[in-house]
């Protein structure tokens, strides 16, 4: 009897251990469903808040942890719905073709989108490009992270990224940090030839604002990296709130390049770091006049023809005059032959 009881006890312990181990590996379906159910609406409200805002941001780019920044910029962000305006002032750089004091301006306006530039010795802006609204907006999340970081991952809106057919949520984990409860969403993304595995960390109490992300990227058709890979990390900090919405204070992104087996550095670039510090943030609507050429001392669209278009019109006029002249001479020659 004693042996039978002991055997049953051991079997019971094995079953308990197996069930616990299985539970640890089993996806938390309930928490995944909560995320999928709550996140889209929360992210829409968060994006709505950050669609009417002004920011002043300092950006530092660093080649390796511990080294001084090789590029320092101060940026101004203004957004009003689908109107965007960004001013970029270079404060420090070691890159060729750039100088301290250089200023560039990017404005995305469905009526007239453009890019301007001004050197330190210039008083007026040069029109660099007249572009489509869509082409400018597409690149904004990568260049001006703090405006998009609470609800974005690189160029993707997270709400769109999780709908990609190659995206899979593998688990959801609740993490406690002091009095706050975060949710970590672990995922995999497998488009052709490029694979990613990582996680997003959200704060459900603050409209599911993104707190952190981390992922591993590699190329090939293997389930694990075999040649080289990159490790990407992002960290978002908030300070204070406005009408219940968290105010972004800083964003840092690391990109580390490694060899899969030897852990060697690829292309002598062990780390690339971008630090964004929000120096000032002002929520609220912005007048449309701030998104026009006149805000920079230039005539508005319709009052000027950009230099590139002016040259094109001149060339077209010359071709047209030459064609008309040739046609006139041909007709005169034909009439004389008839006489």
The answer to whether residue 7 sits within a structural domain is: no
165-170, long-range: CB < 8 A, 24+ apart: 166/190, 166/191, 169/27, 169/32, 169/35, 169/36, 170/27
pLDDT at 302 (0 to 100): 64
186 and 235 both lie in a single domain: yes
160 and 37 both lie in a single domain: yes
**Centroid of chain to Cα 131:** 19
Burial 99-125 (b: 16+ CB within 10 A, else e): eeebbbbbbbbeebbbbbebeeeeeeb
66 and 89 both lie in a single domain: yes
Longest dimension (CA), the chain: 133
44 and 110 both lie in a single domain: no
Residue from 146, 138, 196, 141 nearest 166 by CA: 196
CB atoms < 10 A from the CB of 339, how many? 4
168 and 35 both lie in a single domain: yes
87 and 211 both lie in a single domain: no
140 and 258 both lie in a single domain: no
Phi/psi-derived region of residue 284, left when phi > 0, alpha when psi is between -120 and 50, beta in every other case: left
pLDDT at 114 (0 to 100): 95
Distance, in Å, from the CA atom of 130 to the CA atom of 135, rounded to the nearest integer, reads 11
Each of the 339 residues of the chain gets a pLDDT tens digit; together they read: 544 544 344 333 333 333 443 345 688 999 999 999 999 999 999 999 999 999 999 999 998 777 889 999 999 999 999 999 999 999 988 877 788 899 999 999 999 999 999 999 998 999 999 989 999 998 888 888 899 999 999 889 999 999 999 999 999 999 987 778 999 999 999 888 788 999 999 999 999 999 999 999 888 777 777 777 888 999 999 999 999 999 999 999 988 887 754 444 444 455 789 999 999 999 999 999 999 999 999 998 765 444 444 454 455 456 555 655 665 555 655 555 555
Segments forming the whole domain that contains residue 224:
27-50+154-278
Phi/psi-derived region of residue 224, left when phi > 0, alpha when psi is between -120 and 50, beta in every other case: beta
169 and 215 both lie in a single domain: yes
95 and 31 both lie in a single domain: no
Residue from 157, 187, 190, 191 nearest 172 by CA: 187
Element (H, E) at 53: strand 52-62
The structural domain count of the chain equals 2
162 and 143 both lie in a single domain: no
User: Where is the domain boundary, 256, 278, 300?
Assistant: 278
User: Is pTM, for the whole model, over 0.85?
Assistant: no
pLDDT at 305 (0 to 100): 46
Q: What is the dihedral of CA 42, 44, 49, 55, to 10 degrees?
A: 110
**Centroid of chain to Cα 224:** 26
Provide CB contacts within 8 A for 326, sequence distance 6+.
none
Cα–Cα distances (Å) from 193 to 25, 146, 155, 189, 227, in that order, read 27, 30, 19, 11, 13
Please, where are the H alpha helices in 147-189?
158-161
């Amino acid at each position: 009897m004693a042996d039978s009881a002991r055997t049953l006890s051991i079997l019971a312990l094995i079953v308990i251990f197996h069930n616990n181990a299985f539970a640890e590996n089993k996806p938390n379906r309930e928490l995944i469903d909560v995320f999928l159910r709550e996140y889209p609406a929360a992210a829409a409200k968060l994006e709505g808040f950050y669609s009417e805002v002004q920011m002043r941001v300092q950006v530092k780019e660093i080649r390796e942890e511990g080294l001084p920044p090789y590029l320092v910029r101060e940026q101004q962000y203004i957004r009003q719905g689908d109107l965007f305006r960004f001013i970029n002032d270079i404060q420090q750089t070691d890159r060729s073709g750039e100088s301290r004091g250089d200023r560039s301006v990017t404005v995305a306006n469905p009526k007239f989108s453009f890019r301007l530039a001004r050197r330190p010795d210039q008083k007026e802006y040069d029109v660099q490009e007249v572009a489509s609204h869509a082409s400018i907006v597409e690149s904004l999340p990568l260049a001006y992270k703090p405006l998009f970081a609470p609800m974005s991952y690189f160029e993707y809106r997270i709400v769109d990224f999780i709908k990609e057919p190659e995206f899979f949520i593998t688990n959801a984990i609740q993490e406690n940090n002091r009095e706050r409860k975060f949710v970590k969403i672990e995922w995999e993304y497998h488009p052709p030839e490029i694979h990613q595995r990582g996680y997003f960390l959200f704060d459900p109490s603050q409209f599911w604002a993104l707190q952190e992300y981390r992922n591993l990227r590699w190329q090939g058709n293997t389930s694990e990296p075999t040649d080289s890979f990159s490790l990407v990390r992002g960290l978002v900090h908030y300070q204070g709130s406005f009408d219940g919405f968290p105010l972004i204070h800083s964003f840092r992104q690391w990109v580390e390049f490694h060899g899969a087996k030897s852990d060697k550095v690829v292309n002598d670039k062990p780390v690339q770091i971008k630090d964004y510090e929000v120096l000032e943030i002002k929520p609220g609507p912005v007048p449309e006049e701030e998104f026009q050429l006149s805000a920079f001392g230039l005539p508005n669209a319709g009052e000027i023809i950009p230099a590139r278009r002016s040259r094109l019109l001149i060339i077209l006029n010359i071709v047209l005059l030459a064609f008309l002249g040739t046609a006139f001479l041909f007709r005169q020659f034909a009439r004389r032959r008839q006489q």
